[in-house]
Structure 1
Amino acid sequence: MEEQDLVDIEVTHDDPDDLVDSYSSGISDFPFHRQTVVANRLLAGQPDTELRSLTHVDEEEVKLLEHQVDAAHRALFEMDGKALLADEVGLGKTIEVGMILKEMHYRETDDSVLILTPAQLAKQWQGELLEKFGLEFVCNYDDEFQGFDAHNRIIASIDTAKSDRHRAMVLARDWDVLVMDEAHYVKNEETDRYELIEKLTYDYAFFLTATPIQNELTDLYNIVSLLRPGLFGSRDTFHQYFINSNQETLVNRDELQRRLGQVMIRNRREDTDIDFTDRVIDTRTFEPSEAEKELYDEVTKYVRGAYSQDSGQKLVLMLLQKEVVSSPAALEQTILKMLDEQNELTHRDELETILDKIDAIDTVTKQERLFDIVEEVRENVDMGRVIVFTQFRPTQRQVLQVLDEQGYTTHAFHGGHSSQEKEDIVDQFREEGGVLVSTDAMNEGRNLQFCNIMVNYDLPWNPMKVEQRIGRIHRIGQKREVYVFNMGLKDTIEEYVLDRLYHKIDLFQQTVGELSTILTRLEDSGRSFEDEIFERLTNADSEIDLENDFDSMAIDLEEQQDLSQKVEEFNSGVFESFDLGADDD
């Protein structure tokens, strides 16, 4: 940090004994030196280690928690502005970075800031920094974004930054501050992402991840080495000294923890005063009408036949299978589009038969049952606020229409709204109550703790998307129990996913971090969770085969869950007794 003359020790020896000796001799004078610097400043009336900008943070926008303030302070003044923020999921690492950037802005040490995130989180970062800390950043998805040399405060997806179009300019600049969210994305030193970060030039850096170790201890080595090159010596030395030959047992744990103490801050839920509310799950499956059942069977038959003839249609066919359990309206729009775009379509007769089946549906079961849930809420909850999630705009329009006809106060939220429109919609929902029907565009940085009830009208096949939906209301600041209603049609793919997969791994009680670990391990084969579901659906020759296939997938999930728990146990071994209080001796 500016004006702070702290010792920064980098170890470059290859011999393990030299490595420890060098570390020990170098660190011995470190606490005394730092205490002397701080004492001199205090005597001179210069409290440079105070977070002076916090008095300018709007308490109505963000409640600063003790562990967050402590993390920001340590990152800036004890780690010399280079820190790995590794709090467990849900403890507000973004808030910690917001405080850090606010303080640097106050001290005018942030002339150029680059924040790199996964693509889906870029807009969320932009919104939170502006709303909570008054910090304006341009995002690479904004219309006004003109390149990495045209702005001084940029939020961008890491994949955009490493692209052939932008990479040279990103590397050409000397950045004051680099922030990298989900830092485990660069755990592999053989990737373009890792190479980009390794070559970037910056003065201060703050990396965020709740899972610094995902598969093996080398993950942690790679991430930390980007922040503090040489802290662990060479990669070979690191393996020789800290990991036994089969890489399953951690050795020299105390030494590892001492070095981590220079660069990593990790708060755990049990170490904070945060009292997370309970999450209550209510899954309701309904018997479809005869017409709905015939439509489902017709679509499934078409999807299986078309996929066996042309696997290149996979995405479209997968879409049809999801839409048929969402709403006839969503399915109809896609079928009509397919017929319109391909005059010589091979399966035209089958698609027209599906349209006939749609026309035969008089009552949509899910819509009728949604009234039951909304009415329960209206009678028992203040202002009757409910968020209803669907993946499809036609479903959203249809649900809004029937709710309006029943006299409910409704609000629509989707990706077609401008940023300001989205703000206004959320404000109206907060003030007026009623039912907000949203597509998954709501996942982009919206915190809705003023509502504690949500409905999954249709279920994404990707469990992370389900948890992201729930995370809009079940987060820091939620003061009430959270109720999640899952709706599904019996004897459909939806029921299989719900009962045989999601409940099998207790999806609805998992955290994002735990889910990420499970899915990362499951998807190492190169196929996504959604691909697995679709393949099993299309390849089953009978209902019994389908049941067996999903049971098999559930067993795979349980195995991955066991592995993820072992990873967490290993993490706990690494971080056990990790000094979160930054005691200097």
Structure 2
Amino acid sequence: MDDEDLVDVEIAHEAPDDISDAYTSEASEFPFHRLTVVANRLSAGQPDTELRSLSSVDEEQVKLLEHQVDAAHRALFEMDGKALLADEVGLGKTIEVGMILKEMHYRETDDSVLILTPAQLAKQWQGELREKFGLDFVCNYDGEFQGFDAHDRIISSIDTAKSDRYRHSVLSRNWDVLVLDEAHYVKNEDTDRYELIDKLTYDYAFFLTATPIQNELTDLYNIVSLLRPGLFGSRETFHHYFVDNGQDTLVNRNELQQRLHQVMIRNRRAETDIDFTNREIDTRTFQPSNSERELYEAVTDYVREAYSEDRGQKLVLMMLQKEVVSSPAALKKTIRKQLDANNELTHRSELETILEKIDAIETVTKQERLFDIVEEAREHVEMGRVIVFTQFRATQQQVLESLQEQGYTTHAFHGGHSSQEKEDIVDRFREEGGVLVSTDAMSEGRNLQFCNIMVNYDLPWNPMKVEQRIGRIHRIGQKREVFVFNMALEDTIEEYVLERLYHKIDLFQQTVGELSTILTRLEDSGKGFEDEIFERLVNADSDANLENDFEAMAVDLEEQQELSEKVENFNSAVFENFDLGATDD
């Protein structure tokens, strides 16, 4: 912000039709300033462009890096509260937004805030803002969520916000602040997502994406135009001036970067002093016992038959297929619940047979092999700290009991704990060491850099969830090499997912942002990643067909990964030599 910009004024303007007018003069848009910031400046007699809330940020919760502080400052005071935060993956764009929102809250300029994210990241945003910045938001997945007109600080999936149920109430409010994560989701002006953002009314906006360009340069135009209408003129003018021969060649790059400098902040890993530690992956597959093999085959046969007769119970059947490779305890709990709830249940005899096969299992192979890993940790790692992730509470309890019988110090973490209880559990794990066995409630919004070993006891079918687990320990602030152990039973759906899909795209070396790009492309067909896995399982009429189906899915993944890499290469070309600092007057 400059001193001469103290007047609150917003001038509507038409996009210039003449190319020379559009790209040889300063943008005609004047910013709309926060009244309280202006008042503070006037009372002080000089510009107030310091981040005054920095002193209130808990350094134990978040270590602020120079590029993050700079980005927050520029977004607020040089871009007047409308900025595209386009740092490369892993540099902490969420932290930058947290600092921005903390400062606005400090200055009382955030009466209503709407944060829109992909569904799988909504709860993570909520946890990060609460724990690192003391900012409380209600999430649309919370039980207390009562609608977009009932709360002033909301985090929601963008698809919930655009739904028929909520769209009207979202659009009827004038929001002080809009935050849009993964802004490339609105790159297409013909989608409902784009239309929602275009029609929203707000004073300040912060868009986040590591890939402002996904397919073509027009993606960038669409995203920026939502933030700063008119900055690039009309779509036709933009395309004619910056793109040559169907986007095979980028022209007038310097002019493009000068325009982008008014609205976009992009930091690169190579230009920061962040040193990410190595990540070592150790995948261990085990031959199941004969009784475990019989149980797996019985459950898979039942799931295929039941799904062919009633596709409405897809979620329950998918759950059974995941539980059978997690633990007999988890599977038994679900089947017993089904039998007790419905005396007229179809396939009752098959489910009772499965229960008998569960009871016939004397030794749980994964459980025995887990001892090998935690014993290695106890011998070689400070305080023997290991985090074991499972998707199921019954599996968690079974693993905890077996570890306790072997004399290990254990800690349980799950979604049923209160916020304070979760804090206490993490503190005890830090102080006492041992093994923390957690459900995926731990995979969102927790920083556990004091531990560097984790185990995927069972494997989520959603790659994003796997990376979120790993991200608890492999993140900025981790000083040691990180070890990730994956456990799977041979010749099961778990091994197919692990070996034929995840390792094909080198999942365990990807980041959340990179995975999001790959999965977004793959799911453009409307079918989710987990749905795709399940459909291939139930429709395969032989092991050979199932293997071929997964190979085909792996090829699709590889193609999307190659496209994602091409996008990043094109982004690099567009933003090469992009001026990251403030321009001189």
- Normalising by structure 2, report the TM-score: 0.91
CA 1:325–1:579 in structure 2 vs 1: closer, same or farther (change >3 Å)? Answer: same
Q: Matches of 2:400 and 2:29 in 1, distance apart?
A: 67
Give 1:34's aligned residue: none
- Offset of residue 47 of structure 1: 4.3
Structure 1 residue runs without a partner (length 5+): 31-40
Alpha carbons of 1:514 and 1:131: their partners in 2 closer, same or farther (altered >3 Å)? closer
1:14-25 → structure 2 map (5 Å cutoff): 15=17, 18-25=18-25
* Residue number in structure 1 paired with 2:367: 367
Greater Cα shift, 49-58 or 410-419:
49-58
Tell me, yes or no, if the aligned pair for 1:121 and 1:445 is still in contact at 8 Å: no
* Structure 1 residue 143, shift from structure 2 partner: 5.5
- How far is 1:248 from its partner? 4.7
| Structure 1 residue 377 displacement after superposition | 0.5
Change beyond 3 A, Cα 1:372–1:29: closer
Does the 8 Å CA contact 1:10/1:230 hold for their aligned counterparts? no
Shift of 1:129: 2.7
Matched with 2:401 is 401
Q: Distance in 1 between matches of 2:499 and 2:145?
A: 45
Contact 1:11 1:23 in 2 (8 A): no
Letter in 1 for 2:253: R
Q: Which residue of 2 aligns with 1:577?
A: 577
Equivalents in 1 of 2:88, 2:157: separation in Å? Answer: 23
Shift of 1:462: 1.4
Matches within 5 A, 1:101-500: 101-142=101-142, 145=145, 147-244=147-244, 246-500=246-500
Deviations 1:331-379 (A, max 9, x none): 1122223323343333222222211111110000000000110111111
**Cα distance change on mapping 1:2 and 1:52 into 2, 3 Å:** farther
Q: Deviations over 1:227-273 (max 9, x none)?
A: 11111222233333333454454333322222111101011111110
- Say if 1:117 and 1:531 are closer, same or farther in 2 by CA, change over 3 A: closer
Counterpart of 1:486 in structure 2: which amino acid?
N
Query: What displacement does 1:454 show?
Result: 0.5
Shift of 1:145: 5.0
Q: Once the 2 structures are TM-superposed, how far is the Cα of residue 156 of structure 1 from its aligned partner?
A: 3.5
Q: Tell me how far apart the structure 1 counterparts of residues 106 and 171 of structure 2 sit (CA, whole Å).
A: 26
- Change beyond 3 A, Cα 1:145–1:494: closer
DSSP 3-state at the match of 1:52: coil
Q: Which amino acid aligns with 1:258?
A: Q
Contact 1:9–1:27 at 8 Å: present in 2 too? Answer: no
Distance across 2 between alignment mates of 1:139 and 1:308: 36
Cα distance in structure 2, aligned partners of 1:103 and 1:28: 28
SS at match of 2:522: helix
Q: Counterparts of 1:417 and 1:2 in 2: how far apart (Å)?
A: 49
After superposition, the C-alpha distances for 1:90-143 in whole angstroms (9 at most, x for unaligned) are: 111121112222222333333333333334433433333333233344444556
Q: Secondary structure at the match of 1:363?
A: coil
- Contact 2:116 2:156 survives alignment (8 Å): yes
Q: Retained in 1: the 8 A contact 2:389–2:456?
A: yes
What is the rounded CA distance, in whole Å, between the counterparts of 1:386 and 1:12 in structure 2?
59
Query: Which stretch shows the higher mean deviation, 132-141 or 317-326?
Result: 132-141
Mean Cα deviation higher: 127-136 or 399-408: 127-136
Match of 1:82 in 2: 82
Mapped to 2, the partners of 1:546 and 1:527 lie a distance apart of 19
Task: Assess, with a 3 A threshold, how the Cα gap between structure 1 residues 144 and 298 changes in structure 2: closer, same or farther.
Answer: closer
**Cα deviations by residue, 1:414-444 (Å, 9 ceiling, x for unpaired):** 2222222222222222222111111111122
Contact preservation (8 Å) 2:13, 2:29: no
Q: Take 2:48 and 2:329, find their aligned partners in 1: how far apart are those partners?
A: 61
- TM-aligned CA deviation for residue 305 of structure 1: 2.5
Q: Which residue of 2 aligns with 1:91?
A: 91
Question: What's the Cα RMSD here?
Answer: 2.7
Tell me, yes or no, if the aligned pair for 1:85 and 1:208 is still in contact at 8 Å.
Answer: yes
* CA apart distance, 1:478: 0.8
Q: Contact between 1:457 and 1:487, CA under 8 Å: does it hold in 2? A: yes
Match of 2:34 in 1: none
Structure 1: distance between partners of 2:136 and 2:316: 39
Residues 119 and 156 in structure 2, CA contact (< 8 A), matched pair in contact too = yes
Task: Extract unaligned runs of 5+ from structure 2.
Answer: 31-40
**Alignment-mate amino acid for residue 111 of structure 2:** D
Q: Shift of residue 24 of structure 1?
A: 1.9
Tell me, in whole angstroms, the C-alpha distance in 2 between the residues paired with 1:448 and 1:10: 48
Whole-angstrom distance in 2 between the partners of 1:337 and 1:21: 70
**Contact 1:188-1:222 within 8 A present in 2 as well:** yes
Measure, in 2, the Cα distance between the counterparts of 1:4 and 1:458: 60
For 2:10 and 2:278, the matched residues in 1 are separated by 44
Deviation for aligned residue 1:214: 2.4
Contact 1:11 1:231 in 2 (8 A): no
- Give 3-state SS (helix, strand or coil) of 2:24's partner: helix
Deviations 1:139-161 (A, max 9, x none): 44556555544544443443444
Go from structure 1 to structure 2 and tell me whether the alpha carbon gap of 1:556 and 1:8 turns closer, same or farther (over 3 Å shift).
same
2:256 maps to a residue whose letter is L
2: distance between equivalents of 1:123 and 1:318? 23
| Partner Cα distance (1:143, 1:496) in 2 | 36
Residues in 1 aligned to 2:304 and 2:138: alpha-carbon distance in whole angstroms: 45
Separation of aligned partners in 2, 1:501 and 1:140: 31
**Amino acid paired to 2:486:** N
Distance (whole Å) between structure 1 residues aligned to residue 394 and residue 456 of structure 2: 16
Within 2, Cα distance between the matches of 1:82 and 1:377?
A: 48
Choose 427-436 or 467-476, whichever is displaced more.
427-436
The residue number in structure 2 matching 1:515 is 515
Cα separation, 2, equivalents of 1:369 and 1:54: 47
What SS does structure 1 have at the residue aligned with 2:449? coil
Comparing 368-377 with 93-102, which one deviates more in the overlay?
A: 93-102
Structure 1 equivalent of residue 38 of structure 2? none
CA contact (8 A) 2:455 2:487 kept: yes
- 8 Å CA contact retained: 1:10, 1:229: no
SS in 2 for 1:204: strand
Deviation at 1:70, TM superposition (A): 0.9
Instruction: Give the Cα separation in 1 of the matches to 2:161 and 2:547.
Output: 44
Equivalent residue of 1:458, what SS? coil
CA offsets, 1:531-582, max 9 Å, x none?
2222322233322222222222222222222111111111112211111123
Kept in 2: contact 1:129–1:135 (CA 8 A): yes
Q: CA deviation at 1:526?
A: 2.2
Deviation at 1:464, TM superposition (A): 1.2
Partner of 1:33: none
Q: Quick one: structure 1 residues 215 and 339, their matched pair in 2 at CA, closer, same or farther if it must change by over 3 Å?
A: farther
Query: How many percent of aligned residue pairs carry the same amino acid?
Result: 83
**How far apart in 2 are the matches of 1:276 and 1:119?**
27
Return closer, same or farther for 1:407/1:191 CA change in 2, 3 Å cut-off: same
Could you say if the C-alpha distance between residues 340 and 75 of structure 1 is closer, same or farther in structure 2, counting changes exceeding 3 Å? same
The amino acid across from 1:373 in the alignment is I
